[in-house]
Structure 1
Amino acid sequence: MQDVAAPYDYARREVREPSALGTDLYGPTYAALDLGTNNCRLLVARATHEGFRVIDAFSRIIRLGEGITSSGRLGEPAIARAIEVLRICRDKMRNRGVTRARLIATEACRQAQNGEAFLDRVREEVGLSLEIVDRETEAMLAAIGCTPLVDPDAGGAILFDIGGGSSEIASLGRPRATRRGPPEPAMQGWTSLPVGVVTLAERHGGISVTREIFEAMVDEAAHHIAPFASEQRKHRINGHLLGTSGTVTTIAGVHLGLKRYDRRRVDGCWMMDDEVTEVMERLLAMSYDERVCNACIGAERADLVLAGCAILEAIRRAFPSARLRVADRGLREGMLVQMMRADGVWREAGTS
């Protein structure tokens, strides 16, 4: 599930053969990098008339925020892992001829006492300049990236992004159609929870998770969700859940019985409420070793997946819905859309 993803079309949600790439691409080559608490992810893309096509992708779990809950600082082993992976991303961008990029850091760098010092070191050693974005920006970028998956026949969606150090939730209305390019989000409200899979697992434990531990994690997440859920109930949202993160893509992969993670089957797939429950019950019943051996979880997520499930369960209880749509997309796609829109690439395509 890690390292390299196949090229894919953002608008059509389908993987293209390498021979088919480039036939209708135009404009600059863009890159979007998201350095999170748990993962470092990169996309390189070029515009198409409907959206963009990813021509290179990279993702690796680095656990940058490991131990930050207790120390308040980024540890040296985590920094070394991040710098190694950022060098790989830098080389990929150079090899692809990237001319326009946005590189962001999220909760781990927001929270760490040495977050800015770490980014200074990245500039000196790797030659990349990352910006620390606030939680509102993170929520908006996820909304931009995931809006094409909002069911246009529904009243909207509750979008959630379960991260390593924080989790964002946004209330979305019906997407606003555009003449060219992807639809625009109609964000009606948002919140950020100061909990993610890494922080919850470090506080409660992620290797041996009993029902009692799981419910304690659910209660902690629910406490942070409650004020936002109370406010959003006034709007009587008649929509569906829309989830982006390793937690929901893992749950979808387990539900589909994938022998190997396949983005084509996961991104955009629907799960009914009872199907989500069934998968989470299966995960709770698994031992740590069984989670490690599952092809859609593996050793890198085995101690984090139940913390993610607990946050998801708190969201489901706050926003009951018959359907969940799974998104293998989010911040990076949002950054790409935002840059391309700012550059007028689809406006130019419409007048050419």
Structure 2
Amino acid sequence: MPDLEKLVDDITAKKQTVNPSYRLFLTSMPASYFPVSILQNGIKLTTEPPRGLKANLKRSLQDISNEFLDSAAKPEIYHKLVMGLCYFHAIIQERKKFGPLGWNIKYEFNDSDLDTSKTVIKMLLGENDTVPWDAMLYVSGNINYGGRVTDDWDRRCLMTILRKFICNEVLDDHYVFCENNTYRIPEKNVIEEYIKYVESLPMTDDPAVFGMHENANITFQQRESDSILETILSIQPREGGGSSEKTPDQIVLELVKSIQDDLPPLLNKEESNKELWQINPEKNLIPSLSTVLLQELERFNILLSTMGRTLQGLAQAIEGIKWQ
């Protein structure tokens, strides 16, 4: 990393001799030791897996079309199996949030696992007269997804979950994945109905759909709370008790108050030149320029109101006051 940082610094310092079309692209997993100077000098793009069962399902379904599903040898069956796979993919992703209760080891399942399983199941359906349940379970569970799993108990858990979604019962329109009847496969085999159904799912996931007891949510919420508090503490200034320097919060608060003092009052149409709003007797309309001016006046007032409201909210947040 020090060599990379030095290389980027050299490129930045020698802008005159570097080809104007030159671009340096770097990819990295989150790493605390990644050079800060490179992050500060570059344009940063991040991609994160969606959080929550609902968001995961939407992400999985957005790249699937009816044409793709209907092209299978047994389209009605394939529709159900793909939706079941999307459920399975979302559930094993979300189990990570429960820590050791979800998986003994944290695994990085990704979209390629889902895509490969969809392709293999489609191929197996085309090559067999009957539905090859055992083959689909083995390839999807032990090879595609199971290839990432190194713990025997995790593999056993993964296969148990998969059997709930790749099974003969999933073809039944009344089959549900959870005791509360919330999670199921829609009866109509069209992708639009699947997406519409996913939109109706609750934002908060029921632990039962992950095969968890309600108490598992306590562990998850504790981990989330600890993470938030650690993040807040990490951005606090680290200085001695006798330091007279202003903290970042004090600097921001002063800047907020300065901007608030400089904000002009809302513009009042009644205080403007009356001639601007006189109606043309021939057209029975006000001048077009006045119409544009009125629109700009309204938009500027919206901007001033938004700035005033957000500045007040920021000041109250810094002072620890609830934003009304």
TM over 0.5: no
* TM-score, scaled to structure 2: 0.25
- Structure with the largest fraction of helix: 2
- Structure with the largest fraction of strand: 1
* TM-score, scaled to structure 1: 0.24
